Structure 1
C-alpha cells in the first residue's frame, strides 16, 4: 500500500444512498415551488452539504428555503434509509482487506454525523467505523468543494495530506480532495468518468479499488 490513510466519501461510496436522497431532495424542492428533477439534483447537489442547497436556491430565486427544511429533509431521508438503504456492493470486501492489512481508513462526508450513523447502522457498516474514524462537514466551516473536511480528517487521523488517498464519486468531492493536495480515485457507478477530472484513476466496481491502491 503506497498510502498511509484511505479516506472514503460516504454517500454513494460506502452506502448506496445517492439515488434515494436525490430523489427525495428533488421531490421536496419541487413541492416547495422550486421545480427540480432527479437529474438536476444529481448535477447540482450530489456530494454537497445541505448549505449548498440553501445557497443555490437563494442565488437562483431570491427566496430562502423554510427554516425547517433541513429537519424535514433529514426525517424523510432517514425513513427512506430504514426502508431501502444498502451498502455499496463490494465495499465490505475492501474494508475487510484494509483492516486485515492494517491500513488506516476513515470516512469524510458532507452528510451530518447523524446521517452517517443512521446509514452505517442500517447497512451494518458501523462495525467498521468507530467514532474516531468518522468526519462530517458539520465539523468544519466549509463543506466540499472546499478542502477543509479532508484536511480535518487527515489531521484527525495524524496523517499528512500527501500520504492520503481519497475515494470519491462526485465532482465536488474530487475538487475538494485535489485542493487538499491528496490523490483521488473516482468511483463511476453513478457519475460519468469525464465529470471526475483530476483523479489518478477511475473504477466502476468497488472491488477494483484494492488493486488500484496497491
Structure 2
C-alpha cells in the first residue's frame, strides 16, 4: 500500500452511530426549543465536535444551551449504543487486511475519548484500536474542519502528513483532511458523493470492503 498511516474517522466509518446520535441530537435540541429535524442534524453537525452545536445554536438564536447539555446528550447516546450500536459492515475485515499488510492505522474522531471507547467496546473494535491509536478532538484546540486533529494524529504516530490517508464520511472531516495536506477517501454510506467531492475528497467508495484495494 502506498500510505504509511491510515487515519479512520470513527462515527459512521468504524461504528454505525450517525443515525443513532443524530436522531438523539435532533430530538434533544427540539425538546429545548430549537426545532431540529434528523436531516438538519446530519447537515449541520455530522462529523463535528460538540462545540459546533453550542456555537451554531448561539449564533442562530442568541441563546446558550444549558450547562448540562453535553452530559445529558452523551448519556442518551451511550444508552442507545449499548442497545443498538453495530460496527460498519466490512470494517473488521478491512482492519484485519491492513494489519496483515503491516499498514499502521489509527482513529481521528470528533467524538470524546469516552464515546470512542464505549462504541468500540460494544462493537468489539477495541481489539483493533489499542492505546496510542485513538485520537479525539479533545486532544487539540480546534475540531474539524480545522486540520489540528489529523495533524496531531500523524505527529503522534510519527508519520508525515503527506504519507497519510484519511477515511471520512462527512464534509467537515474531508475539509479537515484536505487542510492537513492528506489524501482523503470519502465513504458515501451516509453522505452524497457530490458533497464529499465538493469538500475535496480524493476518491469515493460506498462499501468498506472496497477500501483496501483503493489504498494500494
**Which stretches in structure 2 are left out of the alignment for 5+ residues?**
none
Range moving further from structure 2, 194-203 or 149-158: 194-203
Local SS of the residue matching 1:111 = coil
Runs of 4+ off more than 2 Å: none
Answering whether residue 155 of structure 2 is matched by residue 176 of structure 1, we say no
Q: CA deviation at 1:182?
A: 0.1
Residue number in structure 2 paired with 1:207 = 209
Q: CA deviation at 1:72?
A: 0.2
Residue number in structure 2 paired with 1:130 = 130
CA distance in 2, matches of 1:201, 1:183: 8
Q: CA deviation at 1:200?
A: 1.5
Q: CA deviation at 1:96?
A: 0.1
Residue number in structure 2 paired with 1:159 = 159
Q: Which aligned pairs between 1:106-125 and structure 2 lie closer than 5 A?
A: 106-125=106-125
1:155-204 superposed Cα distances (whole Å, 9 cap, x missing partner): 01000000000000000000000000000000000100000021121111
CA RMSD between the two structures: 0.4
CA distance in 2, matches of 1:185, 1:12: 13
CA distance in 1, matches of 2:202, 2:215: 10
Residue number in structure 1 paired with 2:148 = 148
CA distance in 2, matches of 1:87, 1:46: 18
1:58-91 superposed Cα distances (whole Å, 9 cap, x missing partner): 0000000000000000000000000000000000
Q: Between Structure 1 and Structure 2, how many residues are aligned?
A: 214
Residue number in structure 1 paired with 2:6 = 6
Report the TM-score when normalising by structure 1: 1.00
Q: CA deviation at 1:213?
A: 0.2
CA distance in 1, matches of 2:60, 2:125: 38
Local SS of the residue matching 1:132 = coil
Local SS of the residue matching 1:106 = strand
Residue number in structure 2 paired with 1:83 = 83
Answering whether residue 31 of structure 2 is matched by residue 31 of structure 1, we say yes
Q: Which aligned pairs between 1:37-52 and structure 2 lie closer than 5 A?
A: 37-52=37-52
1:22-68 superposed Cα distances (whole Å, 9 cap, x missing partner): 00000000000000000000000000000000000000000000000
CA distance in 2, matches of 1:200, 1:75: 36
CA distance in 2, matches of 1:194, 1:101: 31
**Which stretches in structure 1 are left out of the alignment for 5+ residues?**
none
Report the TM-score when normalising by structure 2: 0.99
Local SS of the residue matching 1:209 = helix
Residue number in structure 1 paired with 2:17 = 17
